[in-house]
Chains A and B, each alone.
Chain A
């Protein structure tokens, strides 16, 4: 197990969002509270385990074990179509990860055939240069698992169902952390283990990511339900992250990681806000609202800030992430960058349009007249999120500098391996290791 500049922030995000989402369920979850808390904590264990594991076997165990509590969270405390959604979620995720399991086993035996040692230790595996043929297949087996989790464009259909049906806490964790496990996997496993296959997959995955960005945004635009709008916006945002990771320069990758954190914060906050209004009004349809800003000014204020951060307005965290990604993408391929920028515009359209319909105008529905504004607990939940939004937006340096070292060393390793493949026979063991602090479990 270990931590570096990449996983550090994801772990912090996990722990932070778990606390926030438990607080948010204070009144929303009234039955079977014990089971709910057990599931949340088991989920947290699984998620942290995924981010700290430096052993492929351990990683896989956490990766799958985390499915069970999530399955219960959606299935027991979820909305009306919860059973369909939860089974779809589990089957989709398992499909990818089972093939990854085979790939892990294959990698394990390849490792042995090149070094003579049986090990699942990731740092040892980093050292081996695999021939291109096996890199290719193994990369796609891993990539499928991660792409389903992200979700990359054609594999995204589980996401809206799961997000919409999940309870607020579940949606926050799902959007905030679970999706990041996919992108994290690309960075932690695919890039350093199969650098050449990774490079050869750049056009394919970038195009899928772009389709995701634009398609997600367009579908979000026509949603009637606020929650599914946010869910589709996740598809779009995660497309940005993937684009950043596959533009393959330090800036874009840093932007990608930062955008993972940003998305966790702002989409998490959006789900929280949607949950709060749903608790009061028992509806999430955009048409049911109108003029809410007059009744709930504080709520509207928070919602505005989070919306702007989700759009990526300068001064908020979303801007830094998207800017870095687009800047990086511009360096490697201009067309991608231009198309991605189009996604930012679309995001502004669907978010602001939704905001306008919900919060402005007249209070023409009698049910909306007596909505109570946020109470102290809810404000306390949202304030730290807003602080983070502005902190990252105005002064991202502490975050970026921590990431930079890890990303650079990851790049060095990948570069070294791919040049080694050209000049030496496959199976060469390189001695350079990553700059990862290793902690042993005692």
Chain B
């Protein structure tokens, strides 16, 4: 009897393999390189990102899957991988490539490992694999959050993130265990056909999974860690956290709830509705009171998680594509605004209070204009990408009968306009103090700034191309 070896199509996991290889390479090279050669490591890292993207793009429309859906290459996963890689690239760029300050090889290696975790999260329909991806991503992030070892706030941030994160993964894993207990499977496609789906044990499990993932995307009431962690972590890592892991958490949420468990929608839609409203409102209202810009952006990231939850509640192809579009746009504009903060604080000073932005727009118009673009985009005013993203979200909500949610959403973006525009007021309408900071940014930070600012405006003016792609993420979703 001939033994058949199962065909493994390595193309499906090629991006992950590339990222792993580069991450290991960077980490191994670090101790063997003399100090004056260490500049090579960040360049190696972004090369890795590009190579991974090169292997990722051909997977578009390929619709492959491995090991009964444990690794997928559908359009949704491809587009999410591109979002992660973009976020990683920008994070590497804003990590001061040239100003004499080196983070060390493990910094870049950890970023790559974290990216690997996100990519795994976005491309599996198996709960256990999603969990593994989440752990790979989170553990790297815990270390990164505390990377400024000498800074007390950074250590506090890492500790807080770690403890809270450990709890939440516990919830997630427990939920998966309960679901496995009732249905005998962790594969979403198999377990959705199980007859025991209305058992209390299963519902509890589903609830616990929701808690675990809601923690990662920072929805109210699982948002408590966000402001402290965002404030304490090194700014490039904060930007990374706001973009990548949030998108990854949503990738998992979309995969589990919107795609995997659509038939059970009546079970979870009410809870997510409430979560969305709470998250948007609390995030926006609390952001008003913040005087530190990193904390303000932290609360704003909570609020934005609420907007994306609207998409999940709305559901359907419109919900999915608007969520993907918004996450991409959000990554761009939030990394852009953190890049401005970095440009201000690059010489070692912190300059993270709102008052440090006084007169910035008058003294350094380009930096001011970039920040204005991001703030306007975050508050959802045309002609920026943020507006288009919100427009798609509210359209999806209206289309699928969630009119009330859409109205709450627009009212929330009104609240947000107040604190976003306050930054613009401070930058342009207050005189700079004599001790004003001198932004001194390296080419890489500037490159990241230009990239994000131009794409934020560009996607606001020509959103069609990208949105058509995100719409296709629904058409070829593997079930």
Contact = CB atoms under 8 A, between A and B. Distances in A.
Interface of A: 32, 35, 60-61, 64-65, 67-68, 71-72, 75-76, 82-83, 86-87, 90-91, 94-95, 98-99, 101-102, 105-106, 108-109
Contacts of B421: 71, 87, 90
The binding surface of chain B is classed by DSSP as helix
Nearest to B461: A61
A255 to B, nearest CB: 33
A125 to B, nearest CB: 16
Contact of A72 (B391, B399, B414, B428): B428
A68 B422 CA distance: 13
Nearest to B428: A76
A106 B425 contact: no
B170 interface: no
Given A65-B381, A91-B417, A98-B414, A82 B403 contact: no
Of listed B395, B406, B422, residue having the most chain A CB within 10 A: B395
Closest 10 CB pairs of A and B: A98-B410, A61-B382, A105-B398, A75-B429, A65-B382, A105-B395, A64-B382, A65-B383, A102-B406, A64-B381
Given A87-B418, A108-B395, A99 B383 contact: no
Contacts of A109: 395, 398-399
A94 B417 CA distance: 9
B112 interface: no
Given A91-B414, A94-B417, A98-B411, A83 B395 contact: no
A409 B475 CA distance: 45
Interface of B: 362, 365, 376, 381-383, 387, 391, 394-395, 398-399, 403, 406-407, 410-411, 413-414, 417-418, 421-422, 424-425, 428-429
Contacts, number: 68
Given A32-B362, A76-B429, A105-B398, 17 more contacts: A64-B381, A65-B381, A76-B428, A90-B417, A90-B421, A91-B414, A91-B418, A94-B417, A95-B414, A98-B414, A99-B410, A101-B391, A101-B394, A105-B391, A105-B394, A105-B406, A106-B398
A441 to B, nearest CB: 13
Contacts of A102: 394, 398, 403, 406-407, 410
A72 B413 CA distance: 20
B381 A83 contact: no
10 contacts: A61-B383, A65-B382, A67-B381, A71-B421, A71-B424, A75-B425, A87-B421, A99-B410, A102-B407, A109-B398
B407 A87 contact: no
Contacts of B398: 102, 105-106, 109
Contacts of B406: 102, 105
A223 B376 CA distance: 36
A86 B376 CA distance: 15
Nearest to B373: A68
A109 B395 CA distance: 9
The binding surface of chain A is classed by DSSP as helix
A68 B428 contact: no
Contact of B413 (A60, A82, A98): A98
A68 B381 contact: yes
Contacts of B424: 71
A98 B406 CA distance: 10
Given A61-B383, A91-B417, A106-B398, A68 B376 contact: yes
A71 to B, nearest CB: 7
Nearest to A100: B410
Contacts of B394: 101-102, 105
A90 B417 CA distance: 9
A71 B407 CA distance: 25
A35 B467 CA distance: 33
A280 to B, nearest CB: 26
Contacts of B376: 68
A106 B287 CA distance: 30
A331 to B, nearest CB: 39
A67 B398 CA distance: 25
Contacts of A108: 395
A251 B382 CA distance: 37
Of listed A67, A105, A109, residue having the most chain B CB within 10 A: A105
A213 to B, nearest CB: 29
B358 to A, nearest CB: 12
B382 A99 contact: no
B386 to A, nearest CB: 12
Contacts of A68: 376, 381
A159 B179 CA distance: 59
B393 to A, nearest CB: 10
A83 to B, nearest CB: 6
Of listed A71, A72, A82, A101, residue having the most chain B CB within 10 A: A101
A195 to B, nearest CB: 23
B383 A106 contact: no
B317 to A, nearest CB: 14
B378 to A, nearest CB: 13
Nearest to B410: A98
A287 to B, nearest CB: 30
Nearest to B401: A109
A72 B422 CA distance: 12
A65 B460 CA distance: 11
A242 to B, nearest CB: 25
Contact of B428 (A61, A75, A87, A95): A75
Contacts of B417: 90-91, 94
A109 B407 CA distance: 16
A347 B179 CA distance: 75
A76 B428 CA distance: 7
